[in-house]
């Protein structure tokens, strides 16, 4: 199949392209650097022309109140181009529990993106992933100083980016789900404990202070960012750290 991967040069997109091409498909990466802009619409019609499948991995440049506008405009433009190009399957990557955390602008924005795709009139698939292992350092940096890292005990089920990319590629090459597939790492950790494990592995002697209000995940209630019934990826956090 010919598969257009919009946002195909990023952390996930580049690996999706590699996986699909290795499986014998013709996956073509598109991004702003190649002249495709999902907000202005520039280059979108050309990018999806002749594609059997479009995978949209573009992301809002911010996590704040501007993110819903990004996803609304980008999905409207992408769906219009996909309809014009008679694309048979549109795939997006979203977040496990995104509809359960209305307090976060970015999660509301991703839920909006899902709703727009589902209502778009084209066969579709939504892959929802848990938090990426690659983002743990960034999460800690939001609430860190020279001696401490403040983190809530929010349950997290981290997944490696390579496993996310493999799942997205598998869904893109398959029959449209017309629904959602949840994917997750094989282990659940309280976020504060995940921080301690990470710092220890890095030889970082800062203390992790459990603070239920710290950072973006402080507003998350319960275990909505985990899913014991998800398709479980193989990579364990300790193996990824090593």
Angstrom distance (rounded) from CA 173 to CA 90: 11
Provide the pLDDT confidence category of residue 157 given band limits of 50, 70 and 90: very high
Angstrom distance (rounded) from CA 161 to CA 69: 26
Q: What pLDDT digit, counting tens, does each position of 207-234 carry?
A: 999 999 999 999 999 999 999 999 999 9
Q: What pLDDT digit, counting tens, does each position of 171-191 carry?
A: 999 999 999 999 999 999 999
With 0-12 / 13-18 / 19 or more C-beta atoms within 10 angstroms meaning exposed / middle / buried, residue 151 is buried
Report pLDDT for 138.
95
Give yes or no for a contact between 12 and 5, defined as CB atoms under 8 angstroms apart. no
Report pLDDT for 59.
95
Mean pLDDT estimate for the chain:
97
Provide the pLDDT confidence category of residue 47 given band limits of 50, 70 and 90: very high
Query: What percent of the chain shows pLDDT beyond 70?
Result: 100
Please give the structure tokens belonging to residue 213: 């209000």
């Amino acid at each position: 199949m010919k598969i257009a991967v919009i946002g195909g040069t990023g952390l996930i997109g580049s690996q999706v392209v590699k996986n699909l091409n290795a499986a014998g498909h013709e996956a073509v990466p598109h991004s702003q650097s190649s002249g495709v802009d999902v907000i202005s619409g520039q280059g979108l019609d050309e990018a999806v022309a002749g594609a059997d499948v479009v995978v949209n991995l573009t992301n809002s440049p911010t996590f704040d109140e501007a993110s819903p506008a990004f996803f609304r405009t980008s999905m409207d433009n992408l769906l219009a181009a996909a309809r014009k190009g008679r694309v048979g399957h549109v795939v997006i990557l979203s977040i496990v529990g995104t509809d359960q955390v209305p307090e976060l602008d970015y999660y509301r924005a991703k839920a909006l993106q899902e709703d727009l795709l589902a209502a778009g009139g084209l066969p579709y698939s939504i892959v929802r992933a848990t938090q990426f292992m690659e983002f743990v350092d960034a999460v800690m940096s939001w609430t860190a100083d020279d001696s401490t890292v403040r983190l809530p005990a929010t349950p997290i089920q981290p997944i490696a980016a390579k496993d996310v990319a493999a799942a997205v590629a598998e869904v893109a090459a398959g029959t449209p789900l017309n629904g959602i597939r949840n994917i997750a790492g094989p282990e659940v950790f309280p976020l504060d404990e995940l921080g301690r494990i990470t710092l220890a592995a890095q030889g970082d002697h800062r203390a992790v202070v459990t603070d239920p209000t710290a950072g973006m995940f402080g507003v998350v209630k319960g275990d909505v960012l985990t899913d014991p019934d998800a398709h479980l990826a193989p990579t364990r956090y300790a193996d990824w750290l090593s």
